[in-house]
Structure 1
């Protein structure tokens, strides 16, 4: 009998050792996967912002008005927005890794076309193609993160993607300005080609294959939404709209309302992305430790408070009030992103993860468009003049107050939506 118990204990110890050895066996694989997926996300976000600073140079190079040159940025964003759900469904039906490789190939080829563009129309079309490639990168990087990360580390993986996305958006203008000074506007697009090439090679060799998995028919969007995903998407849209509002209204308030110079405005506007870079991974770790529900509630609360502060504090104490508000608002955004993405993808079946990722990206991009257009219109209405450059500082302050009062109300609505009973997924986390 003693011998039996001894053998049983020995087998249990061996099983425990084997279980502990599994993560150790993956240690050499995981860094390569992480680098591949973060580089893919970096490319997509970098493409969003790197061309913005080249617009004046492009207007001069092609002798075109600003309204036409602006299409270089809009074409990328529009193509990305339209393509994200398609990219997700193709990932589900054809395989996440093959479709990410296809997206990287399209992005790299489009970058070459942009760099070699002989005229503005060519460049706009190439940028639209680049946006399609970026949709695959952004959507499938998120889905593959869900596929490769353990559930216990899901939050920090999503937090890392949020950090990289913020880094790419923040790095774009400064990197673009440096490249224009060294290599002209074409350098802005040349640099993206080798980066996409490196990501393609890493993806080919580092991402895991699933040879035993049969390619299945892509799930319908309606069937995914029936899994209580709709509240995630609505809240995601509202939050993205508020964050874009800060990027649209902030420069007008700081420049016209407070009379700051362009360099000073740029420095203050960089505070938000800088906070995002350093708060992304900690936000993800908090999701792993506390669960999605608590972190989502905390993030939305900080967003509501931060938007409310932006409605009052800057008009009371100037620059300090603006900075304090951003310091409250930005960590709330990163907490929300990590929690909402984790909750949406955590329980998603393997055959629908690409579609869910695409819908998340779609709702975010629509929110960015709403923030830039509808909330921008609210700001103009609050200012009370058509040409903002002619507005007084008091009128700018009035527009700022009205816009972020509405933004704060949107975040309160988001809190209510996030707590709807249908969000059963959060209650299980």
Structure 2
């Protein structure tokens, strides 16, 4: 039976919703860590491995999955990823030890990649060219939306039921998302015949073409310096707020607000690109504002913070919101700077791979500086360095964009 294309709701919205359902699996774990430690006897180090498994999967397999998605078909890859996450989460509810849960978490990581890689290409073929920038702004929000929902809903579900129920509920969510994609997103056959014909030439030519083109490298490294500083800041907010004397629930709520505010920048980027802003302008604005807001949030004078706690919270929320200009712009730009139609998912996979490198390396770097300096007051130097590098990479993106439009 062939899927039925929705006449009212554009399929791109279903794809964005599928991305949110996938990102919920990334955000479901932090609230559950204390219960998992208590019931499964896990150590803090083992919990850290569970938290980083998705990033490790992306670091190792991002480019490979991107190459595969171009050949297998975008919709087929998305459906496979959603079902893999659904089944892994449901089976994970029956896990009785760390090893079992870690193996299923690795499968969730692979499923997440199979969702994230093909989605931008699917969105591109679902909307008019004039609508692509705005819709990619929403796609760029899928991770902060899912993470914030996990941080907000997780504690309530876990308090009322159990971590097993939380796992089962999110498995069902991904299964429902897969059903919606099957019913409402057009099949690959007719839409991707030309791309598939090129992909059939083999993965080596597509890989070589991607790696020797400057565009994929620029957007990928740009994503790395963004994701590294965003995860480095947001990941330690609960710790920072706890040190300031706030309760765990309030610290979690404030962190969720900061994560969710990233959506504002993503949506704004889509609108700005639609109104004529160049990608380089959006990227440079995002990097500059991230650097300035991080400075306000963390700099100290005479051993005392420059601003009171409430203003530092506002600064971190603005750090996340203005940083949202970057991922939406990079997703949109990657669609155009991919060296061919057959390498769009490969380029996105390469970008996702470097994004995971940033997410994996950013928090330890921030923590190392904090430990060396005896506090968080020099965190702004880490973010500032990444912003300078991002600003320079945006210059290169601008040059590639100009040549493309010439």
TM-score by length of 2: 0.88
Report the counterpart of residue 136 of structure 1 in structure 2: 114
Report the counterpart of residue 401 of structure 2 in structure 1: 425
In structure 2, the CA distance between the partners of 1:182 and 1:80, relative to structure 1 (3 Å rule), is: farther
Q: For 2:39 and 2:377, how far apart are their aligned partners in 1?
A: 40
Q: For 2:279 and 2:219, how far apart are their aligned partners in 1?
A: 12
Report the counterpart of residue 34 of structure 1 in structure 2: 12
Of 159, 182, 185, the residue aligned with 1:204 is: 182
The alpha carbon displacement at 1:422 in A equals 7.9
Please show how residues 85-164 of structure 1 align to structure 2 within 5 Å. Answer: 85-164=63-142
Report the counterpart of residue 151 of structure 2 in structure 1: 173
The alpha carbon displacement at 1:28 in A equals 4.8
Of 267, 278, 287, the residue aligned with 1:291 is: 278
Native 8 Å contact 1:80 1:131 kept in 2 = yes
Larger Rg: 1
Structure 1 SS opposite 2:9: helix
Q: For 2:102 and 2:134, how far apart are their aligned partners in 1?
A: 37
Q: What are the superposed Cα offsets for residues 254-277 of structure 1, whole Å, 9 maximum, x if unpaired?
A: 332x33333343343233223223
Of 351, 354, 357, the residue aligned with 1:363 is: 354
Report the counterpart of residue 322 of structure 1 in structure 2: 312
Aligned residues: 388
Q: For 2:249 and 2:161, how far apart are their aligned partners in 1?
A: 23
Q: What are the superposed Cα offsets for residues 316-356 of structure 1, whole Å, 9 maximum, x if unpaired?
A: 12213312422432232111111122112124322111111
Of 377, 383, 391, the residue aligned with 1:415 is: 391
Structure 2 SS opposite 1:411: helix
Of 55, 60, 63, the residue aligned with 1:77 is: 55
Q: What are the superposed Cα offsets for residues 42-84 of structure 1, whole Å, 9 maximum, x if unpaired?
A: 1221111112211111122123333234433233332244232
Native 8 Å contact 1:299 1:331 kept in 2 = no
Q: What are the superposed Cα offsets for residues 160-203 of structure 1, whole Å, 9 maximum, x if unpaired?
A: 11223211001112222222233311112101222222222222
Over the aligned positions, Cα root-mean-square deviation in angstroms equals 2.4
Report the counterpart of residue 379 of structure 1 in structure 2: 370
Q: For 1:237 and 1:347, how far apart are their aligned partners in 2?
A: 17
In structure 2, the CA distance between the partners of 1:409 and 1:62, relative to structure 1 (3 Å rule), is: closer
In structure 2, the CA distance between the partners of 1:243 and 1:106, relative to structure 1 (3 Å rule), is: same
Native 8 Å contact 1:255 1:261 kept in 2 = yes
Q: Which has the higher contact order (CA 8 A, sep 6+)?
A: 2
The alpha carbon displacement at 1:296 in A equals 1.8
Q: For 2:318 and 2:366, how far apart are their aligned partners in 1?
A: 20
Report the counterpart of residue 21 of structure 2 in structure 1: 43
Native 8 Å contact 1:44 1:135 kept in 2 = no
The alpha carbon displacement at 1:29 in A equals 4.2
Report the counterpart of residue 254 of structure 1 in structure 2: 241
Native 8 Å contact 1:104 1:199 kept in 2 = yes
* Larger deviation, residues 87-96 vs 321-330: 321-330
Native 8 Å contact 1:151 1:346 kept in 2 = no
Structure 2 SS opposite 1:317: coil
Report the counterpart of residue 266 of structure 1 in structure 2: 252
Structure 1 SS opposite 2:140: helix
Unaligned runs of 5+ in 2: none
* Larger deviation, residues 304-313 vs 290-299: 304-313
1:403 aligns with 2:403: no
Of 281, 284, 287, the residue aligned with 2:267 is: 281
Q: For 1:292 and 1:347, how far apart are their aligned partners in 2?
A: 11
Unaligned runs of 5+ in 1: 1-26, 384-395
Native 8 Å contact 1:43 1:134 kept in 2 = no
Native 8 Å contact 1:248 1:376 kept in 2 = no
Report the counterpart of residue 237 of structure 1 in structure 2: 224
Q: For 2:371 and 2:207, how far apart are their aligned partners in 1?
A: 36
TM-score by length of 1: 0.83
Report the counterpart of residue 387 of structure 1 in structure 2: none
